[in-house]
Amino acid sequence: MSGSLPTAVDQKVLARLDAAKGLEAAFIAEMLKSIAPDTSSQAFGGGIGEEQFQSFLFENQARAMVDRGGIGLAEQFVRSMERMP
């Protein structure tokens, strides 16, 4: 494939892989949210700013984890999508 344009099949596979990575990142972000400590009751908590931006932190951490290999969900999602028409 060096130097050639991606075919429609290649683009379909890449789109499925991107969607699968997005699903895996969303799952990991939710897991990170559920295990995060509650800092609102601490004396030096981040206040409303921390509450507003913490989700962005979790989403970026999850995306970084997926970019480095993730936990294997993306591969399972792609396999499931390959069976779709």
What would the pLDDT profile of 40-64 be if each residue is shown by its tens digit? 666 666 677 777 888 899 999 999 9
Is 4 within the bounds of a domain?
no
Whether the predicted pLDDT of 7 surpasses 90? no
Percent helix, strand, coil in the chain, to 5, is 70, 0, 30
Residue 79 in tokens: 């396999």
Domain membership of residue 52 as a residue range = 9-33+44-82
Nearest partner of 33 among 6, 56, 5, 65, judged by Cα:
56
Q: What integer is the mean pLDDT of 14-37?
A: 92
Q: What is the pTM of this model?
A: 0.75
Q: What is the pLDDT of residue 66?
A: 96
Measured between alpha carbons, how far is 56 from 42 in angstroms, rounded to an integer? 21
Give the pLDDT confidence score for residue 8 in this predicted structure: 74
The answer to whether residue 3 sits within a structural domain is: no
Query: Is residue 55 included in any domain, yes or no?
Result: yes
Return the number of other C-beta atoms located less than 10 Å from residue 63's C-beta: 18
pLDDT at residue 2 is higher than 60: no
